[in-house]
Structure 1
Amino acid sequence: MPTEAGSEAGDPGTGAPAARRRRPRRLLTPSTTRAEKVRAVRGLGAFGGLAGLLVALMLLPTACTAGVGARDAAGWFESEPDGLSTSGVPQRSKILAANGSTLATFFYQNRVDVPFNKIAPVLRQAVLAIEDSRFYEHGAIDAQGTLRALASNLSSGQVTQGGSGITQQYVKNLLLTQADTDAERQEAREVSAARKIRELKYAVALEKRFTKDEILRRYLNIAYYGDGAYGVEAASRHYFSKHASELTLPEAALLAGVVRYPYAYDPIRHPGAARERRDTVLTRMAELGWLDPAKAAAAKRAPVRLDVDNVRSGCVTSDAPFFCDYVQREILTDPVFGRTAEDREKLLKRGGLTIRTTLDRRAQKAAQRAVDRHVPPKNSAHKAAAEAMVQPGTGEIKAMVVDRELGPDRDRGRTWINFAADASHGSSIGMQAGSTFKAFTLAAALDEGMPFGTRMMAPRAYTPVGYRNCDGDRVGDPSASLRNSADGEGGKQFSLVTGTHHSVNTFFLALEKRVGLCDTVKMAERLGMKQANGKPLEQYPSFTLGFNPVSPLRLAAAYAAFGARGRYCEPIAIREIRAASGKRLKVPGRHCERAMDEGVADAVNHVLRGVLTKGTARGMGLGRDAAGKTGTVDNFSAAWFAGYTPDLAAAVWVGDPRGGYKHPMENLCMDGRCYGSVFGATIPAPIWRQSMLGALSHTDPGSFHRPPSRYFSRGSGEDRARVPDVRGMKPGEAVARLRAAGFRARIGAPVGSRRFPKGTVAGMSPSSAEPGGTITLHLSKGAGREPGGRRRGGGPPTLPPAAPTPEPGGPQQQAPA
């Protein structure tokens, strides 16, 4: 017979050796001729008849009592059994990152099904040698082995000896793995004539359905090899950290020997017994002529070398544990994956799924490093941090981190709670979001057409009266007085721009009342916001101050809509799922909708980008277009930062899992670093900046769009600034000075002046303006009437003042919020 490369002079279909001590046997292989197959099937029928006879003999006392003869038993035996299924064999599922790398595996039984040609021929030989050397010669029942067992069984009056071949062993394993209840598992294991008869009947049917190669493949993939490894591929990876196709002779013989008694021959727990059993396999291979005695002797001298790879089921050992847990909960809770919770769990842990997710390895690594650096997992202050990253325009979750390991909360530095996700996907009840909710009030105001220069008085304290929720009910407490988060705020006017940059509480309370509480709430809801417990947002005047408990993931997805120019997408973690067969399964679809017009989103981006350059998070820019908002919760019980670019959005929370109000972040010292009071810009913003820089390091920067001109109808909304006095300068020098100060310049009509030489700047207007405003320069044409002054030779000129009087409500130093 021809040989196969890599085998021990084996047959290409079976792995059995071509050279034998006796006459070569005819084997049923994929290359067998049609006539040979017909003869084999006829032989199979003969073995079926023999099986019926054997069974009748085994049950002779019962058969005689019931008046049933051997002929009836043989007929029943050859009939197709009801309910025979070869499906349902548990296979392990795996969760993959977007780049295809493995995040975690899930299984009831650690099994990886592989095709016949991915199993080393030497392993096939070893298993056949020790378990069923005549497998390719007999039918479903090995008559010699069964008769030998029969004699023992009849003499004892019960089934005490097996004689099972590969097909029967496959059936036994199949019935055991398909058992769902304890009763079914007990029935599959019991030592009884009834169980043996059922196995024999199934074996006859399977030999009619499948080729010998396929039955052997199925057996090798279903058998238990000890220490939690089911199937030859999982066993090979577990004991030797290699594929089943790469096994050497000593390794193959070791695995073949384990199958009979996996617990007794476990090479990890019982290395001596495992080696002795391995040598027994090698001896048997040599006795059959399938292995050269010299090679067998050399293999016996080889020590047992293991390279154990422990694959654990679940997310605990994943390098993205909380994202993995999110995906797991997605599958276990969504009816699209099964009608009942039990069905969904079976699909995940038995279905051999390949689950490709949205996780970006670079973003995940950058976020974890940033969180762990600023809030170490076992920090002395017991604080925690979480971050979620979402891609604008798709809703794809790119990263999800917590500064903890996934595990029991009783262990320091561990938690089962995913602080980055909602309760349905992480058990978190959420955290108050603070001033990050002001962005929704800003968006509602811009959606109603308010220009940037809209100015409102922000008192030092604000009594919330006159608010109505979406049911039309009055809400608010006239006896309560809400204040700003830091001294010095309030008591002056702010615009939409400056009020946002400085995060003035009383300004936003007044703005929310002007816009309407309901409109503000509806804007947040259009952007996907709801409480972390799944309930709708509560509606009270302090809504804009962020009293609703939410998750970082929800907030990141909402801010991602700003970056996507108003297109909101529900967060998704799963791109594709394929079954073990390769069939693509249904997954939750992408749900995106327009939450606001593009121009409104462009206006929001224009305002929020200033938070990073001149507002509460100044200095936290990325060197590319970016925007965001700080958030500080009452009494410094928590701090947030939510920010985004056109390419990525992220939200960061920092707080105390034991309760923020009970353990506020004031006078905080954490692993050698101390803070006075922790604002959104103190810890969350630096985490956001570091993680975003890492996540976007290989991404070309996107750009925000200029807002529609209607938003500039009342100016830029910036505070008016003092214009540098450039009088007496030459025009070129004056223009350069103004540009450096952030203003534009133009040359107006010349004026007469005795004070300034001809050709120099003699006048300028206005003397105060918003940044970016245009300053008109008037050049001197020499002595003569000066603008607004007297005739030549009169009194002093009355030129516009060089420095403006400070405007009420001008900028003051603000504490971050």
Structure 2
Amino acid sequence: MVCAMDSDARGRGKAGAVRRLAGYSALAGLLSALLVLPLACVAGVGARDSAEWLLTEPVDLGDLTTPQRSTILAADGSSIATFYRQNRVDVPLEKVAPIAAKAVVAIEDARFYEHGALDLKGTMRALASNLDGSGASAPQGGSGITQQYVKNLLYVNAETDAERQDAVETTPGRKIRELRYAIAVEERFGKDEILEKYLNVAYFGDGAYGIEAASRRYFSIPAAKLSLGQAATLAGALKNGNQYNLRLNPEGAVNRRNTVLDRMAELGVIDTATAKAEKDKPLKIKITETKNGCTESRAAFFCDYVQREILTNKIFGKTPEERERLLWIGGLTIRTTLDWKTQKAAHKALLRHVPAKNDEGKAAAQVLVEPGTGEIKGMDVGRELGPNEQRGKTWINFAADADHGTSIGMAAGSTFKAFTLAAAFDQGMAIGDRITAPRGYAPTGFKDCKGKDVSDTKVLTNSSDGEGGRSFSLLTGSWHSVNTFFLLLEKKVGLCDTVKIAKKLGIKRADGKPLQEFASFTLGFNDVSPLRVAAAYAAFGARGKYCEPIAIKRINTSDGKSIPVPKAGCEQVIDKGVADAVNYVLSGVLTRGTGRGLGIGRPAAGKTGTVDNYSAAWFAGYTPQLASAVWVGDPRGGYKYPMTNTCLPTHCGGPVYGATIPGPIWQDTMAEALSGVEAGRFQRPPSFFFRKGSGEDEVKMPDLRGMSLDAAMQKLGAMGLDFKVGSHEYSDKYDEDQIVATDPSPGALIDPGDSGLTVVLTVSKGKDPTALPELPDPGWPEPQEEGAPWEIP
């Protein structure tokens, strides 16, 4: 085709006819454009080049794709959530029932397999029908399946309203552009491929794009199982997905279905009797709602975390727009780290202790991280993801940092003391090193990492779940969570060194700002997220190996290609022996410290955290296999709404400590999450850390004399004391196998945990059989004065 009329005058001579023809339909616009419009004027090219331009493949054809829905999967491959702008699931033609493909071809383009990009016979017939009024009450279209595919493809790739309007408006320019793409499509793909693409891009109404999504939406079956009646119904909806919506307009859908069946019979695809029988059947639909986004997910806050990871991390695109397109239309399969068993345990425990709609207005959050991998196994807030003004709902993910949930974080309280403890061990201090902790202390002489004095003249005291006024070791000071002890310990090891250890363990402020460095750093005034605390404690469980927490394991695009995802970057950040010493000390918190009674029947360690004025409470605990951090507080503001007289299902009246509600949440979660999992063990710290004893408070050596050897051994074992039998001796006082003596001797002060202490037992052999018998007293008188004679009776 060439431009035969280059002059304005000739162009104006055809203008009226063009306008009349264009007004009938898209078909009339196409034909009028092809036959009478100067291509050079429409395309902006010279007459000699117009035919070549029409037949040249558009450079962007390969970039045009149908928007695909992305799916987030748990570690076991089950679905967490789906994201889409258009509900579409692409399937190959072999996964579409053959009768469905035949129904679509019959009603949309019966000569599809016979013509090329343009069906001239159909176009001329439709034009004639429109011009003489004999065809139908409405103008007839002439676009075949290929052209309809192109129109749909251009529409779904439009970025703006103007581009979308341009993709569907009835103008000669649009029809010529559409034809140009159709020619290229016919050149590049076979007919079955084009039909497959059309079936996957077409709109079937009610938000269903593509035949697979439509089949699932209306009939709750895959497209491969469509029956004749179902296939005809969906094929009929292609003419106008909104007008023939099966759910909203069943009567119109049935009438259109019958039209399709008649057309199939007319073409010989089915016989007349079959068409009639099918037309007599009622329309039966079974709607399946396809969830979109995280709000209805069973793991809504974990889902939201993954979503924000993709939308904020530049590894997924340089701009926010690129990242958003990737998630919502990129057809991603996102495999995550979520373990349903752990997730369900966390959710159940949170709601048991802090119900979503509790009258106190309190909330709770928990994150569980796997030591040694950084994989987030569970994350929950114990509320529904939704508008904050609705009771029991929140958009804020209190478990994560601001960039992954809009939370600015919460003061972590005494959970930060573990970092000071680690810094002390890192500097070589022993478990038995002692500090006398006063009841009140004004922290002076502190400097931050820039050398600036950050002392405070305000006297800080011990919280109600701690104590002071005596000497504590690193062990007992941690068990009792003594504030003044840790302030003095932090001063001893250095504020900056404590901060550095915390940073090595991944601690960051939730709002993204640098950690604030003041004397009370060890008391946990910095606002952080449970995720960061859980990841830090997971490093203790992994013997000093810190892993950046990750939620995504891998991502594949719709064509199966993998794309990069954030890595955990695991690194040994503190010495294994240092971590072992921390684990040894914090294990006792669950048995003899502020977390007493929170054991889970396997080796575990943890730390309570009670924030000033009971504004929040925490518990961070871990085993070698799983670490968790739990926060309980008030989203309206902890200082304004403290937990001083809180009444919740498992605690009513009195203040809330770390062991009051957060601890039991942790205990319930861990017990269920780890059920059936073989228990791991912590490693005993190097003997170097016990060079000053175990750190336990001294006790008096019991008096074992006269006890049987078995009874004595049982008593010493119960006290955690090592012992050995030193010797067996004859004794006139104690029977055989009874204890004669001990070293240390009875009443001596001893350290039960001193690894260098071994009680030596001396055991009786009974009386000496070789000893001469005692002679009876002859009754001699007492001697007289010196020189005086004896008087013999």
The answer to whether TM tops 0.5 is yes
Alpha-carbon distance between aligned partners in 2 of 1:412 and 1:694, rounded to the nearest angstrom: 28
**Deviation, structure 1 residue 154:** 7.3
Give the aligned partner of residue 616 of structure 1. Answer: 594
SS of the residue corresponding to residue 677 of structure 1 reads coil
Residues 62 and 641 of structure 1: is their aligned pair in 2 closer, same or farther, counting only changes over 3 Å? closer
**Deviation, structure 1 residue 754:** 7.7
**Deviation, structure 1 residue 71:** 9.2
SS of the residue corresponding to residue 667 of structure 1 reads coil
**Deviation, structure 1 residue 725:** 2.7
Give the aligned partner of residue 325 of structure 2. Answer: 346
SS of the residue corresponding to residue 467 of structure 1 reads coil
Residues 54 and 427 of structure 1: is their aligned pair in 2 closer, same or farther, counting only changes over 3 Å? closer
Alpha-carbon distance between aligned partners in 1 of 2:675 and 2:465, rounded to the nearest angstrom: 39
Match of 1:59 among 36, 60, 69: 36
Give the aligned partner of residue 682 of structure 2. Answer: 704
Give the aligned partner of residue 776 of structure 1. Answer: 760
Alpha-carbon distance between aligned partners in 2 of 1:220 and 1:433, rounded to the nearest angstrom: 55
Match of 1:561 among 539, 552, 556: 539
1:571 corresponds to which letter in structure 2? P
1:100-249 equivalences in 2 (<5 Å): 100-151=77-128, 161-249=140-228
1:549 aligns with 2:527: yes
Does structure 2 retain, via aligned residues, the 8 Å contact 1:52–1:74? Answer: no
User: For residues 730-761 of structure 1, what are the alpha-carbon distances to aligned partners after superposition, in whole Å with 9 as ceiling and x for unaligned?
Assistant: 33332223223332333446789886567633
Give the aligned partner of residue 96 of structure 1. Answer: 73
Residues 499 and 69 of structure 1: is their aligned pair in 2 closer, same or farther, counting only changes over 3 Å? closer
1:565-604 equivalences in 2 (<5 Å): 565-604=543-582
Residues 390 and 198 of structure 1: is their aligned pair in 2 closer, same or farther, counting only changes over 3 Å? same
2:114 corresponds to which letter in structure 1? E
User: For residues 373-420 of structure 1, what are the alpha-carbon distances to aligned partners after superposition, in whole Å with 9 as ceiling and x for unaligned?
Assistant: 111111111100000011111111111001110000011000000000
Structure 1 residue runs without a partner (length 5+): 1-50, 785-817
SS of the residue corresponding to residue 717 of structure 1 reads coil
Give the aligned partner of residue 459 of structure 2. Answer: 481
1:363 aligns with 2:338: no
**Deviation, structure 1 residue 774:** 3.0
Alpha-carbon distance between aligned partners in 2 of 1:203 and 1:686, rounded to the nearest angstrom: 66
Does structure 2 retain, via aligned residues, the 8 Å contact 1:57–1:70? Answer: no
SS of the residue corresponding to residue 646 of structure 2 reads strand
Residues 753 and 489 of structure 1: is their aligned pair in 2 closer, same or farther, counting only changes over 3 Å? farther
1:654-669 equivalences in 2 (<5 Å): 654-669=632-647
TM-score (norm 2): 0.88
Give the aligned partner of residue 403 of structure 2. Answer: 424
User: For residues 59-78 of structure 1, what are the alpha-carbon distances to aligned partners after superposition, in whole Å with 9 as ceiling and x for unaligned?
Assistant: 25898999999997655533
Match of 2:612 among 626, 631, 634: 634
**Deviation, structure 1 residue 143:** 1.4
Match of 1:283 among 262, 278, 295: 262
Residues 205 and 703 of structure 1: is their aligned pair in 2 closer, same or farther, counting only changes over 3 Å? same
**Deviation, structure 1 residue 439:** 0.3
Alpha-carbon distance between aligned partners in 2 of 1:71 and 1:517, rounded to the nearest angstrom: 81
Does structure 1 retain, via aligned residues, the 8 Å contact 2:305–2:404? Answer: yes
Does structure 1 retain, via aligned residues, the 8 Å contact 2:616–2:633? Answer: yes
Alpha-carbon distance between aligned partners in 2 of 1:666 and 1:415, rounded to the nearest angstrom: 24
Match of 2:358 among 379, 397, 405: 379
Alpha-carbon distance between aligned partners in 2 of 1:418 and 1:75, rounded to the nearest angstrom: 58
Does structure 2 retain, via aligned residues, the 8 Å contact 1:602–1:707? Answer: yes
Q: Percent identity?
A: 61
Does structure 2 retain, via aligned residues, the 8 Å contact 1:724–1:741? Answer: no
TM-score (norm 1): 0.85
Give the aligned partner of residue 46 of structure 1. Answer: none
**Deviation, structure 1 residue 82:** 4.5
Give the aligned partner of residue 693 of structure 2. Answer: 715
**Deviation, structure 1 residue 108:** 1.1
1:405-804 equivalences in 2 (<5 Å): 405-478=384-457, 480-486=458-464, 489-671=467-649, 673-748=651-726, 760-764=738-742, 765-766=744-745, 767=747, 768-772=749-753, 773-779=757-763
Alpha-carbon distance between aligned partners in 2 of 1:656 and 1:339, rounded to the nearest angstrom: 37
1:774 corresponds to which letter in structure 2? T
SS of the residue corresponding to residue 457 of structure 1 reads strand
**Deviation, structure 1 residue 287:** 1.3
SS of the residue corresponding to residue 613 of structure 1 reads helix
Does structure 1 retain, via aligned residues, the 8 Å contact 2:440–2:460? Answer: yes
Alpha-carbon distance between aligned partners in 2 of 1:80 and 1:74, rounded to the nearest angstrom: 12
User: For residues 458-511 of structure 1, what are the alpha-carbon distances to aligned partners after superposition, in whole Å with 9 as ceiling and x for unaligned?
Assistant: 111111011111111111212x01111128811111111111111111111111
Aligned residues: 732
Give the aligned partner of residue 392 of structure 1. Answer: 371
Alpha-carbon distance between aligned partners in 2 of 1:64 and 1:692, rounded to the nearest angstrom: 73
More moved, 722-731 vs 89-98: 722-731
Alpha-carbon distance between aligned partners in 2 of 1:421 and 1:387, rounded to the nearest angstrom: 9
Alpha-carbon distance between aligned partners in 2 of 1:711 and 1:192, rounded to the nearest angstrom: 84
Alpha-carbon distance between aligned partners in 1 of 2:383 and 2:402, rounded to the nearest angstrom: 17
Alpha-carbon distance between aligned partners in 1 of 2:466 and 2:558, rounded to the nearest angstrom: 64
Residues 487 and 594 of structure 1: is their aligned pair in 2 closer, same or farther, counting only changes over 3 Å? closer
Does structure 1 retain, via aligned residues, the 8 Å contact 2:362–2:633? Answer: yes
Alpha-carbon distance between aligned partners in 2 of 1:355 and 1:68, rounded to the nearest angstrom: 46
User: For residues 307-336 of structure 1, what are the alpha-carbon distances to aligned partners after superposition, in whole Å with 9 as ceiling and x for unaligned?
Assistant: 111113211111111111111111111111
Alpha-carbon distance between aligned partners in 1 of 2:710 and 2:273, rounded to the nearest angstrom: 98
1:308 aligns with 2:287: yes
Give the aligned partner of residue 7 of structure 2. Answer: none
More moved, 494-503 vs 758-767: 758-767
SS of the residue corresponding to residue 280 of structure 1 reads helix
SS of the residue corresponding to residue 487 of structure 2 reads helix
Does structure 1 retain, via aligned residues, the 8 Å contact 2:68–2:90? Answer: yes
Give the aligned partner of residue 794 of structure 1. Answer: none
Residues 53 and 451 of structure 1: is their aligned pair in 2 closer, same or farther, counting only changes over 3 Å? closer
Residues 740 and 685 of structure 1: is their aligned pair in 2 closer, same or farther, counting only changes over 3 Å? same
**Deviation, structure 1 residue 667:** 1.6
Does structure 1 retain, via aligned residues, the 8 Å contact 2:33–2:173? Answer: no
Give the aligned partner of residue 787 of structure 2. Answer: none
Alpha-carbon distance between aligned partners in 1 of 2:584 and 2:367, rounded to the nearest angstrom: 23
SS of the residue corresponding to residue 80 of structure 2 reads strand
SS of the residue corresponding to residue 332 of structure 1 reads helix
1:331 corresponds to which letter in structure 2? I
SS of the residue corresponding to residue 486 of structure 1 reads coil
SS of the residue corresponding to residue 370 of structure 1 reads helix
Alpha-carbon distance between aligned partners in 2 of 1:273 and 1:488, rounded to the nearest angstrom: 75
1:518 corresponds to which letter in structure 2? C
Give the aligned partner of residue 87 of structure 1. Answer: 64
Alpha-carbon distance between aligned partners in 2 of 1:166 and 1:58, rounded to the nearest angstrom: 22
